[in-house]
């Protein structure tokens, strides 16, 4: 592919301008979901189940409705009862009936915190008082939390109509296993017989939350004719519009969805919780309704990612060639089916070229909040297991861990175990950069250990729209429809500015609402710089074509005789005529006379997203008295395609690594015997803080993706995939202990250290 501009001639792409929304963000002016107000606004609050599993016998809202100040009450009875309808709606399989029942429970509550009813009232305190007056009669049922317990015979069944898909013959009894998936290549059994060395492990991970600092928030307003406005902090305003329309039974065109600034999503805001309820309340009350989750509600009622049990077996020849690999994964879906078991089965071995592979996965429901996507959904869990096993294998074979991966690493033309051949990938380049980085050979002190682990993510393309408008003074507006969660609007402006040849200060990007720009698939899947960038780039190219045509009209020469360079139109060669170059401003001034506004909107469904690979190096020091693990040094290497704005690419790498470190060391849901979450707050749900981490070096390897005009490859998700195993492998190196159960929190590590010391003494 010919990149649109030779890499050596890029003037703006690859630099680090200050982001256009930056001043608003550092002064507190930026408007997030909960910052939005409208005249006459009232407050909505949600009543949530205190039980992990129960049948709803009755709901009596009469006393709540009678409380002065209460304007509306809704329950599932106010939503149409949707038949089971599966659609792949962006970030994973989504059944709209399940989504509707997750927003407001119907018939049964399936987790502590499950929404049962909602109230809109004149003030927050009246709304809270009204919740107390709603009488719900429950028939409490036995509950099940743990994934293997949910799979066991005799486990309490969540859905009487769930029969495991993917098992032959078809089961006749309902179970909590929604589906079984399997991938196979070659003959794993035969491969294991050939192996000189075998390594096996059983690993467990706990559900962890995306833990965005901003709780879910929205403001809904519905006019008497049914036309609605919804302002929310979301990863996809078009998704909000579509999901609300589906759940409420309204027409999509009647809903205008505004993307407020969003305080973190990481996949957790790729669906709706409050919005359909707020809209229903707003319609009933005839007033705008604001709903904001408390931090407790975020933990109790919005999707974490799966907890899991993973078993891995690797077989290799003495020279390090892996001849067989097997993996069994059991992923928790939470209350409704839909864990990321598919990607989980595909990602663990995706970076290796293996002849014989056998992977089986199970999607299992249990009485926990429905899982939502979390940055490379499914991949961190499987890679924790596989990369820990790879580390054990390297140690058994006495081969350097990076060398082992290089030996078996996927390259252009390697066929994965799920049948797809890798093309134009950067895994080996990433490994080489890691191996030759000074961190890898830096000396360690006693009690310190170094671990290495790798990761992979597909990255997606999808539908995007981008518009470029030339304003009357020659300045440029770029409009796209993707909420900016990591600096993408700056990248949109940079790509447009590069194509137009103008300084970045003259190009202002905005994120439009659903009525202001064409459809865009949501922000997620590491797709925006790739797919929306592609749309914006194409729109900018079409604007350049128009500018050349207008110049041609002004000069009265054929359009082919006009060149565009550095933001100006030039006659192409002496034969075209001795005209002074025309600036954007000069052409814009004549836009009306030369045909009308100069503008282009491109819509596309971007294909050819390139996968990304990462290799992380982690040094730890373990305090044997407390079990505390200190991260001494962390280097994250990743192939990033082409970094449009390197600071934001580095930011994605550093942020993903930090989340993975938290997942490895501290984060987990802790449940009591009644299935209620005990640590639903940031004090006891421990995410990394500034004093937990060192500076994180992000090393960007640029292996361009030939299917994007600037070579862009998605970058946001890969960096969360390697850290858990990198940390676990470092702990193994420092202590001699393999810790297969996450999180490796101080009490757990201390207990393991004690047990090992006791075993030694005995």
Q: Restricting to residues 465-494, which ones interact with another protein according to CB under 8 A?
A: 485-487
Based on the shown chain and the rule CB under 8 A, indicate whether residue 575 belongs to the binding site for another protein. no
Based on the shown chain and the rule CB under 8 A, indicate whether residue 29 belongs to the binding site for another protein. yes
Based on the shown chain and the rule CB under 8 A, indicate whether residue 499 belongs to the binding site for another protein. no
For another protein, the closer of residues 7 and 421 by Cβ is 421
The residues in 149-168 that bind another protein, with binding defined as CB under 8 A, are 165-166, 168
Which of 214, 387, 513, 667: binder of another protein (CB under 8 A)? 214
Which of 301, 657, 703, 742: binder of another protein (CB under 8 A)? 657
**Part of the chain binding another protein (CB under 8 A), chosen from 57-65, 272-280, 588-596, 695-703:** 695-703
Q: What is the nearest approach in angstroms of another protein to the Cβ of residue 51?
A: 24
Q: What is the nearest approach in angstroms of another protein to the Cβ of residue 197?
A: 29
What residues does 98 pair with on adjacent strands? none
The residues in 717-756 that bind another protein, with binding defined as CB under 8 A, are 717
Based on the shown chain and the rule CB under 8 A, indicate whether residue 129 belongs to the binding site for another protein. no
Residue 568's SS3 state is strand
- Using a 10 angstrom Cβ sphere, with 0-12 exposed, 13-18 middle and 19 or more buried, the burial of residue 203 is buried
For the stretch 565-570, contacts whose Cβ atoms lie closer than 8 Å and that sit 24 or more positions apart, written own/partner, are: 565/501, 566/501, 567/500, 567/501, 567/502, 567/503, 568/501
The residues in 72-111 that bind another protein, with binding defined as CB under 8 A, are 86-88, 90-93
Based on the shown chain and the rule CB under 8 A, indicate whether residue 608 belongs to the binding site for another protein. yes
Neighbours of 15 (CB within 10 A): 14
Q: Total number of residues binding another protein (CB under 8 A)?
A: 114
Based on the shown chain and the rule CB under 8 A, indicate whether residue 376 belongs to the binding site for another protein. yes
Which of 259, 307, 355, 377: binder of another protein (CB under 8 A)? 377
Measured in whole angstroms, how far is the alpha carbon of residue 589 from the centre of its chain? 44
Residues 6+ apart with CB under 8 A from 450: 440, 444, 617, 618, 619, 730, 733
Q: Which two tokens stand for residue 645?
A: 């704005």
The residues in 427-466 that bind another protein, with binding defined as CB under 8 A, are 457-463
State the maximum Cα–Cα separation within the chain, in Å, rounded to a whole number: 96
Based on the shown chain and the rule CB under 8 A, indicate whether residue 524 belongs to the binding site for another protein. yes
Q: What is the nearest approach in angstroms of another protein to the Cβ of residue 28?
A: 2
For another protein, the closer of residues 16 and 593 by Cβ is 16
Task: Tally the residues of the chain.
Answer: 762
**Part of the chain binding another protein (CB under 8 A), chosen from 29-37, 106-114, 587-595, 743-751:** 29-37
**Angle subtended by helix axes 646-665 and 488-500, to nearest 10:** 160
**Contact call for residues 106 and 156 (beta carbons, < 8 A):** no
Which of 98, 112, 261, 327: binder of another protein (CB under 8 A)? 261
Based on the shown chain and the rule CB under 8 A, indicate whether residue 292 belongs to the binding site for another protein. yes
What residues does 330 pair with on adjacent strands? 309, 362
For another protein, the closer of residues 90 and 675 by Cβ is 90
**Contact call for residues 56 and 110 (beta carbons, < 8 A):** no
> How far is it, in rounded angstroms, from Cα 330 to Cα 309?
5
Q: Is 329 left (phi over 0), alpha (psi -120 to 50) or beta?
A: beta
Based on the shown chain and the rule CB under 8 A, indicate whether residue 421 belongs to the binding site for another protein. yes
Q: What is the nearest approach in angstroms of another protein to the Cβ of residue 552?
A: 34
Q: What is the nearest approach in angstroms of another protein to the Cβ of residue 700?
A: 14
> How far is it, in rounded angstroms, from Cα 483 to Cα 506?
21
Q: What is the nearest approach in angstroms of another protein to the Cβ of residue 609?
A: 7
Residue 527's SS3 state is coil
Based on the shown chain and the rule CB under 8 A, indicate whether residue 238 belongs to the binding site for another protein. no
First to last CA, the chain: 65
């Amino acid at each position: 592919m010919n990149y649109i501009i030779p890499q050596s001639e890029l003037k703006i792409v690859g630099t680090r301008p200050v982001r256009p929304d930056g001043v608003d963000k550092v002064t507190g002016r930026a408007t997030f979901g909960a910052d939005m107000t409208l005249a006459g606004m009232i407050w909505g609050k949600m009543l949530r189940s205190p039980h992990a599993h129960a049948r709803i016998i009755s709901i009596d809202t009469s006393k709540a409705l009678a409380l002065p100040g209460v304007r509306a009450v809704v329950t599932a009875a106010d939503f149409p009862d949707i038949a089971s309808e599966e659609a792949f709606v962006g970030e994973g399989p989504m059944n709209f009936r399940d989504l509707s029942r997750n927003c407001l429970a119907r018939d049964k509550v399936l987790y502590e915190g499950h929404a049962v009813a909602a109230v809109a009232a004149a003030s927050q305190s009246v709304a809270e008082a009204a919740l107390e007056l709603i009488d719900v009669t429950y028939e409490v049922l036995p509950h099940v939390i743990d994934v293997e317990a949910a799979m066991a015979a005799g486990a309490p069944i969540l859905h009487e109509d769930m029969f495991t898909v993917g098992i032959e013959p078809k089961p006749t009894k309902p179970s909590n296993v929604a589906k079984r998936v399997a991938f196979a290549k070659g003959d794993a059994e035969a491969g294991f017989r050939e192996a000189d060395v075998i390594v096996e492990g059983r690993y467990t991970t706990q559900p962890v939350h995306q833990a965005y600092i901003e709780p879910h928030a929205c403001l809904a307003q519905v006019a008497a004719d049914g036309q609605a406005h919804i302002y929310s902090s979301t990863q996809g305003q078009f998704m909000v519009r579509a999901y609300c329309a589906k759940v409420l039974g309204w027409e999509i065109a009647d809903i205008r969805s505004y993307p407020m600034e969003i305080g973190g999503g990481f996949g957790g805001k790729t669906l709706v919780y409050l919005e359909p309820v707020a809209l229903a309340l707003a319609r009933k009350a005839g007033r705008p309704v604001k709903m904001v989750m408390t931090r407790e509600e975020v933990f109790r009622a919005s999707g974490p990612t799966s907890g899991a049990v993973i078993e891995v077996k690797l077989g290799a020849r003495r020279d390090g060639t892996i001849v067989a690999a097997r993996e069994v994964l059991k992923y928790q879906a939470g209350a409704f089916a839909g864990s990321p078991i598919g990607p989980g089965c595909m990602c663990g071995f995706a970076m290796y070229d293996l002849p014989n592979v056998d992977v089986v996965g199970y999607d299992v429901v249990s009485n926990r909040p429905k899982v939502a996507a979390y940055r490379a959904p499914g991949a961190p869990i499987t890679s924790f297991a596989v990369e820990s096993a790879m580390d054990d294998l390297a140690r058994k074979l006495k081969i350097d861990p990076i060398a082992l991966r290089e030996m078996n690493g996927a390259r252009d033309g390697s066929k994965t175990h799920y049948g797809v051949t890798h093309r134009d990938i950067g895994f080996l380049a990433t490994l080489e950069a890691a191996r030759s980085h000074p961190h890898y050979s830096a000396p360690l002190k006693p009690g310190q250990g170094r671990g290495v682990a790798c990761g992979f993510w597909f990255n997606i393309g999808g539908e995007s729209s981008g518009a470029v408008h030339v304003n009357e003074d020659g300045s440029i507006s770029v409009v796209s429809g993707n909420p900016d969660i990591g600096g993408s609007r700056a990248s949109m402006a940079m790509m447009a500015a590069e194509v137009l040849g103008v300084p970045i200060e003259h190009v202002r990007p905005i994120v439009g609402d659903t009525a202001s720009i064409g459809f865009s698939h949501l922000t997620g899947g590491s797709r925006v710089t790739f797919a929306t960038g592609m749309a914006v780039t194409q729109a900018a190219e079409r604007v350049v074509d128009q500018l050349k045509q207008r110049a041609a009209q002004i000069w009265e020469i054929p359009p082919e005789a006009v060149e565009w360079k550095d933001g100006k139109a030039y006659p192409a060669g002496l034969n075209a005529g001795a005209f002074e170059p025309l600036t954007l401003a000069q052409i814009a001034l004549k836009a009306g006379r030369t045909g009308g506004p100069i503008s282009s909107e491109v819509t596309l469904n971007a294909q050819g997203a390139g996968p990304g690979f990462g290799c992380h190096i982690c040094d730890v020091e373990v305090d044997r008295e407390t079990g505390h693990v200190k991260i001494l040094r962390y280097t994250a290497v990743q192939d990033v395609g082409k970094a449009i704005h390197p600071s934001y690419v580095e930011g994605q790498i550093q942020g993903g690594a930090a989340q993975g470190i938290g997942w490895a060391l501290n984060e987990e849901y802790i449940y009591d015997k009644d299935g209620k979450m005990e640590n639903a707050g940031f004090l006891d749900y421990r995410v990394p803080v500034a004093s937990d981490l060192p500076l994180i070096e992000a090393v960007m390897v640029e292996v361009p993706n030939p299917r994007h005009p600037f070579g862009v490859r998605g970058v946001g998700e890969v960096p969360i995939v390697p850290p858990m195993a990198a940390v676990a492998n470092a702990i193994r190196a420092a202590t001699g202990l393999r810790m297969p159960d996450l999180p490796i929190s101080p009490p757990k590590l201390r207990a393991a250290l004690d047990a090992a010391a006791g075993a030694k003494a005995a």
